[in-house]
Amino acid sequence: MKSKFILFTGTIIIFFLLIGIAFPGNGANAAPHAQGFVTSTPGPDGRIIYIVVEGDTCLSVALQHGMGVGQLRQFNSRLDEDCTLIIGQQLVVGLANSSGPTAGPAPTLPPPPATATPVSGTTEVCVLLFDDVNGDALRQETEFGIAGGAVSLTNLNGSYSQTLDTTSDIDPDLVEPIRSCFTDVPHGEYNVTMGIPDDYNPTMVLSSILTVKAGDRASIDFGAQSKTITSSEPTGEASGRSSALGIFGFLLLLASAGLGYYAYRANLPKSKLKGSPLDKR
């Protein structure tokens, strides 16, 4: 009976010893805090999420996922300067690509390059050679076109070149000179050159660089003056000067004749002056 009591007592002691050994073992194997939850499957946006638990710090979370604190902060830009974590907070700890989850900063894609809209369509360039009567290089309402000239329009890259004759026709509805117009002109930069008739002198530079855009209508004027007008002005001035010089010369002749007669009378002998008013003195 005594041996049974001892056996029973020893069994109870051994049981409590085993329980005592079991509890410390469980405590030693337990982590200081429960492991945070990490999603094994990335979300629709490719992010791998870690849920913060008690005792987590940015350093501990970063070490658990094989990255640095700086990289963790790049994934989670809303973290404050102290990198404060809140239990239950979701942290991005990786991004998924075609080969599986990869920790690293989210790539920043450059904006798509601007696509240049190709210029299409044509334009119209109209040129007028006008009769610059007053020679001021500005067309007045009473100055109309000159026929017999030739204007050329040439693209600076050599892809277009055309020549038209000038006209003196007038639009009866608008009472405006009709211009020489180049149609279906492609967009680009052009050299415009004007050739004038032989009986005219230019009053403006007879060439110009012109940039045209598709859908627009460009217009440019060149002036020329008739040679008969320019040559008549010096003739009139010369005739006026000749008339004035003629009158002045005639007066000089009269004055010279009077002085000559006076000198002649002054040199005559007194005997020949009898009967003259001088003898009565």
Q: Which CATH code for domain 33-99?
A: 3.10.350.10
What whole-number distance in Å separates Cα of residue 203 and Cα of residue 152? 18
Task: Tell me what the mean pLDDT of segment 70-81 comes to.
Answer: 87
> By the 8 A CB rule, do 222 and 206 touch?
yes
Distance of CA 165 to the CA centre of its chain: 35
CA-based nearest residue to 187, from 222, 221, 160: 160
pLDDT digits (tens, 9 = 90+) for 76-105: 888 888 888 999 898 888 887 644 444 455
pLDDT digits (tens, 9 = 90+) for 184-238: 899 889 999 999 999 999 999 989 898 888 888 888 999 999 988 754 444 555 5
CA-based nearest residue to 69, from 91, 51, 47: 91
Residue 221, pLDDT score = 93
> HSE-up of 222 (CA within 13 Å, CB side)?
27
pLDDT digits (tens, 9 = 90+) for 44-68: 777 888 899 998 999 998 888 888 8
Q: Are 33-99 and 122-228 equal in CATH topology? A: no
What pTM does this model have? 0.42
CA angle 47, 49, 54 (to 5 degrees): 160
Domain ranges of the chain: 33-99, 122-228
Going by pLDDT thresholds of 50, 70 and 90, the confidence category of residue 26 is: very low
Q: Which CATH code for domain 122-228?
A: 2.60.40.10
